[in-house]
Amino acid sequence: MFRYMGLLLSAAALLALACYEPPPPPEPVPAWYWHIGPTASDLYDLASTARDDVWAAGVDGNGAGEILHFRSFRWEFAEMPEKIGPLYAVAAEPGGDAWAAGGGDNFVHWDGSSWRAWPHPAPGNKIYGLALVDVLNGWAVGEGGRIFRFGGGEWKADTSPTTQTLRRVRVLSAKSAWAAGDGGTVLRYDGSSWKEVDFPPTIDLYDLHFFADDDGWVVGAVASLYHWNGSSFRKYRSPDADITYQCCGFAASGLGWAGGDEMHLARYQDDAWTLEQNMPSGLWTLTALHMVSPTEGWAVGPRGTMMHYY
């Protein structure tokens, strides 16, 4: 009897083992990795329409504008028109169009097949920020507080309330856009005109990211990380007190990064900023950061510096 029961238990155990399926391996946690790109040029801005359609703009060793295109899992040089000056800004539109501009006498436009020079309404005025509303409308900002608007098939100068150099512009809709720059300058477009928003510190601001008119971030010198709640800016403690934040990128309102000097990246999560771990050390600077999705993003800087988050 006991022998029979033992055989039954052994059979049951073997059956259980035969039916057992181990749990699936855990999904890898995304992290920032050094990426060996195809250039040693200084890179200043990033834009994308999809994970396999990312643009990077910069300046080559001869001072000419350079654009890289990430597609099919690799970066490639884009063929540029002749005599294009340095490029400091790039923006892409979901329909496929893209624009770039910088320190030369032309904007350049990607129409889905090639980059072509486009007339600049004020040649020689440096452009540091670009943002598109859609294929027919966009904004550009730059030195001396200059603001340019794209509409009706051309770029035109728009009225600006400041003479401080503007570093970045972001668009929420045709009736809402934000820009930030030197001397603590923050501007808001309300659908009819640009107006200054009160930002008491006179620190230089280098980047911004807005989810809504009552939810946005500006970052800059003196380890500045400020959140806009619709009526005022709240300063957040930086995990690195000596850094100048030159760029920021958010995957969601509760998840983002800010970067700058010495390859440092601060991570925003759970309403606090902490220093991102496992970053390579060095003297390189991050000048632009762009999140394609919550699990993928890019950061770039001088001398071909590239970081890939995945």
> Which of 264 and 162 is assigned the larger pLDDT?
162
Q: 28-309 belongs to which homologous superfamily? A: YVTN repeat-like/Quinoprotein amine dehydrogenase (2.130.10.10)
Q: What is the per-residue pLDDT for 19?
A: 52
Q: Is the pLDDT of residue 2 over 80?
A: no
Q: Using 50, 70 and 90 to split pLDDT, how confident is the model at 94?
A: confident
pTM value is 0.90
Handedness of CA 249, 253, 255, 260 (dihedral sign): positive
Q: Give the tens place of pLDDT for each residue, 260-293.
A: 987 789 999 999 999 987 676 666 799 999 999 9
Contact 194, 147 (CB under 8 A): yes
**What is the phi-psi region of residue 306: left when phi exceeds 0, alpha when psi lies from -120 to 50, beta otherwise?**
beta
Tens digit of each residue's pLDDT (9 = 90 or more) over 177-204? 999 999 999 999 999 999 999 998 999 9
CA dihedral 73, 88, 168, 107 (to 10 degrees): -100
Average pLDDT over residues 110-135: 95
CA 47 to chain centroid: 7
Domain ranges in the chain are 28-309
Residue labelled with tokens 């540029």: 80
Q: pLDDT digit string (tens) for 215-233?
A: 999 999 999 999 999 999 9
